[in-house]
């Protein structure tokens, strides 16, 4: 059986939960055709995030890696197109690191493009009734760091396709954040199922029946 590794971050920035891991952890052991899902929580820490993801990949030998992170303030599922070789943290990570204009990988290329079928994924999510779009910036915090670092690993190893998805806050996170959008964990879980279906079946995917929860207004 082939493997899809999905990672999600632990809480950061003073939050008690991270919607990425809350959704990702529900996918452990999920199967679609000849593909099974393996999940891994990663720390919101500069180098350790990539090290943890790579260790999981070395153990499960995946065909695909999808990293998931929180993008508070975004109302949609955003599938990232590109990761840049720059760490410029607006806040410290969970270990207190706050680099300014430093490379993710010394002497690495300026950027890596996602190798997952990002347009197919967005189209499938639209068919499923989920607001989604391609994003051209993964930021310069740990989300961009892990996307770049894992793509760099995959480029060296060969045979692994990698991508990154940002998701909104959970509803419980925006109770004291007026006007911030949110998305239910059940919707993100269904989104992940659709993405797994696209990766497992390529062009032959069928839209999944997703019950979409309207973002908080």
| Residues annotated catalytic, as ranges | 80, 143, 166
Q: Which residues pair with 5 in a beta bridge?
A: 38, 65
CA 118 to chain centre: 12
CA gap 153, 56 in Å, rounded: 12
Query: Which residue matches tokens 């999940």?
Result: 39
CB 15 within 8 A of CB 64: no
**H or E stretch at 125:** helix 118-127
CA gap 178, 84 in Å, rounded: 31
CA proximity to 41, closest of 12, 61, 13: 12
What interhelical angle do 118-127 and 185-201 show, nearest 10? 130
């Amino acid at each position: 059986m082939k493997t899809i590794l999905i990672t999600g971050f632990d809480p950061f920035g003073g939050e008690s939960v991270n919607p990425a891991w809350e959704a990702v952890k529900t996918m452990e052991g999920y199967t679609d055709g000849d593909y099974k899902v393996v999940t891994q929580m990663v720390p919101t820490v500069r180098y350790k995030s990539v090290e943890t993801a790579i260790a999981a990949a070395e153990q499960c030998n995946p065909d695909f890696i999808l990293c998931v992170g929180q993008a508070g303030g975004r109302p949609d599922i955003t599938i990232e197109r590109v990761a840049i070789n720059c760490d410029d943290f607006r806040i410290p990570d969970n270990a207190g690191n706050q680099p300014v204009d430093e490379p993710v990988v010394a002497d690495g290329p300026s950027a890596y493009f996602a190798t997952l079928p990002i347009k197919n994924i967005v189209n499938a999510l639209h068919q499923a009734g989920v607001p989604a779009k391609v994003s051209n910036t993964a930021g310069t915090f740990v989300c961009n760091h892990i996307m770049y670092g894992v793509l760099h690993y995959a480029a060296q190893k060969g045979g692994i396709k990698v991508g990154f998805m940002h998701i909104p806050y959970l509803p419980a996170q925006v109770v004291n954040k007026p006007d911030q959008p949110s998305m239910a964990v059940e919707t993100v879980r269904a989104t992940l199922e659709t993405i797994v279906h696209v990766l497992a079946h390529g062009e032959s995917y069928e839209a999944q029946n997703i019950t979409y929860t309207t973002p908080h207004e």
